[in-house]
Amino acid sequence: MPAPLLPDATDLAHSVAAGHVSPTELLDAALAATARLNPDLNAIVLVQEGAARAHIAAGLPQGPFRGVPFLLKDLGCEAVDFPSHNGSNLLANTKYSKDSSIFSRIRATGVVTFGRTTAPEGGIGPATESAVYSGPTRNPWNLSHTPGGSSGGAGAAVAAGIVPFAHGSDGGGSVRIPASSCGLFGFKPTRARLPDGPYAGEGWAGMAIDGFLTRSVRDTAVMLDACQGADLGAPYAAPPLRCSHADAISRPPKRMRVMLCDTTFTGDAIHPDCADAVHKAAQLLQSLGHDVTPGLPRANVAAMMRAWTDIVAIGTALSITKSLKSRTLSPDLVEGVGRGAMAHAQTLSPLRYLEAVNEIHAFGREMASVFEGTGAPDIILSATLAEPPAEIGRFNHTPEDYVDYRIGPGRVFAYSPFCAVFNASGQPAASVPLGWSKAGLPIGIHLAARFGADEDLIALCAELERSQPWGHHHPPIWAGF
């Protein structure tokens, strides 16, 4: 018999509501697990125990996750009580004068936030190895491998059982990559489904969005329902949901047409363990009555990735320039990839930003057309990553050739060729923890749907979870949540 399913955040909230455990007891357990495991993982920073205990003492909101320990990514999700390094020595110990909209909505769910989780400088890359944390963040399944990035600390903390779920963000796969690497569920909503303000109008030309690393689909669904919707003054909003995410997962989805991609979207081979996991997921979907057909989306992925690379370089250069103030750009303040991004941005025409944004929008229309017409798919199925989790050091931020780091042979885009496609198109996408490498490392299965069809996608993810539960899987260092 398989091991029993482990409690998720919803289970813990029910235990608090029933009086079986108190918010203080759960916080104590999370802090004890942090003390025991974080020296090996290097996943949690800027612990604010006093703020967490003060929130409990003041009376937690009566939300769906009242009393459950929670962590914020050390990038974005600005909060008065939670300073941030933003993954960089340049921005170490940044304090905020007001809470971001996303944090206000997270806090209203009743969670007990007590710290932040590590992120690479600038949120760039599929690994979390920032100099400001004095060492890499490690994967609890195998400490010589990365938990992914840029929400790598969140993935490691949840996979290790320090917290049952955590905040993340995703501008090119930064929720889905750590979900895949750590054996978790990660969901990127449709563009603008979650608020960006007041600190940003949009992230990376609308390609970046907040999200969550969870052990269960239902935890993500409930948190998305609590946080979704444009905030005051948002430049645009996602299409309205037909029903809540929680309602969507409460019933089986419609039978869907699924496009099976066992290569990259440009036809290149992926690691055999990843391809095998994709085929097994396809067989599972077929057994559930879905129509699975091999195919490749017709869209100019290479041009999109070059535009994505330029937009992120320009955004990085803007952030660095604003933060330097009177200081000189130097390796002790900004790592190699960040300096390289700034240098690349300075080679671009002043017209390039809008040109690149237009190319991203054109690509979004190409991807939208893939889901339209007679016989078009409802879902695109692929691996989340082209390989199992990389070893520590492969994607560190030492290199100063930013363009090569992103799109050079064997570099980031070759390793993660699927995720950024749907940041560019704005379509919802998810990584579901269905696969395992021969070495025992998690392999995520990637599912993407048409723009605005978040309910259909999350319902399908829930059906897969019911059919092949993953909640009993945990690494040997599991802390208990």
- DSSP E strands in 280-356: the ranges are 291-294
Whether 467 is catalytic: no
Beta carbons of 327 and 91 less than 8 angstroms apart: no
Q: Measure the CA–CA gap between 476 and 151, rounded to whole angstroms.
A: 22
Whether 174 is catalytic: yes
- The candidate with the shortest Cα–Cα distance to 424, out of 377, 356, 371, is 356
Whether 250 is catalytic: no
* Cβ burial 105-124 (10 Å sphere, 16+ → b, else e): bbbbbbbbbbbbbbbbbbbb
| Residue bearing tokens 């699927």 | 418
- The candidate with the shortest Cα–Cα distance to 129, out of 158, 168, 87, is 87
Q: Which of 150, 151, 319, 425 is catalytic?
A: 150
Beta carbons of 391 and 292 less than 8 angstroms apart: no
CA distances from 269 to 377, 414, 422 (A): 22, 10, 20
Beta carbons of 161 and 479 less than 8 angstroms apart: yes
Q: Measure the CA–CA gap between 45 and 316, rounded to whole angstroms.
A: 23
| Residue bearing tokens 């070759």 | 414
Q: Which of 88, 174, 181, 416 is catalytic?
A: 174
> Which residues form the catalytic set?
73, 150, 174
